[in-house]
A and B are shown apart, each in its own frame.
Chain A
Amino acid sequence: AQSVAQPEDQVNVAEGNPLTVKCTYSVSGNPYLFWYVQYPNRGLQFLLKYITGDNLVKGSYGFEAEFNKSQTSFHLKKPSALVSDSALYFCAVRDYNQGGKLIFGQGTELSVKP
């Protein structure tokens, strides 16, 4: 069965510092990996995805993620955090079966302080 894990419930960074939100995955075959963000009282917004190709994927709002096959990781990164980046971040893997559901990690709350 496919799964993702986010080992950190919370990540705290100072504004202007780089941030990393960790994700590891377990799939059979090639993974389709996604990051979504959830702001308070809002739905899930797509940030970026990895399907194939370059291991460094760039997405919305200056975020990027690095796919590492040997470590089965897909960490989300940003060179310089903003207070407005504070939100809940979910890593997800897309199922191969017909219907293609997304399987989410447990989420990581990112808090960026001024």
Chain B
Amino acid sequence: EPEVTQTPSHQVTQMGQEVILRCVPISNHLYFYWYRQILGQKVEFLVSFYNNEISEKSEIFDDQFSVERPDGSNFTLKIRSTKLEDSAMYFCASSEAGTGNEKLFFGSGTQLSVL
């Protein structure tokens, strides 16, 4: 089965630093997502992206966050100035379609630790 790949698997950074989390969605998928999971908590939606623009974003996704599809394959999440509370597992996901019965395919995640 095709996979969504995420790099790095672990990222440690100092508070205030910028981080970029990288994802390679499945090649024929058109919709892309970022989710995060703080330790012990539920998986939370951050942002969805389609046709080179944000479709929807949650209240978590403030001005410190941005997403980009810089080329035909990568999908990145940038956190401009990290805070301690940004420490979480970040999951990238993709789907062929944006609604209906299409399942989302998730990557294995990037564990971000902000010190």
**A positions within 8 Å CB-CB of B:** 32, 34, 36, 41-46, 49, 51, 90, 94-107
Contacts and interface: CB of A to CB of B under 8 A. Distances in A.
Contact of A99 (B41, B44, B55): B55
10 contacts: A42-B109, A43-B4, A43-B107, A49-B101, A51-B101, A100-B99, A101-B33, A102-B33, A102-B104, A106-B41
A103 B46 CA distance: 11
B65 interface: no
A44 B104 CA distance: 9
Contact of B56 (A43, A101, A106): A101
Interface string B42-57: 1111001010000110
Contact of B100 (A45, A100, A106): A100
A94 B42 contact: no
Given A44-B106, A100-B97, A105 B45 contact: no
A100 B95 contact: yes
B43 A97 contact: no
B13 interface: no
**Looking at B6, B43, B45, B95, which has the most chain A CB atoms within 10 Å of its CB?**
B43
B41 to A, nearest CB: 8
A99 B104 contact: no
Contact of B31 (A45, A99, A104): A99
Contact of A46 (B43, B50, B100, B105): B105
B48 A104 contact: no
B101 A90 contact: no
B102 interface: yes
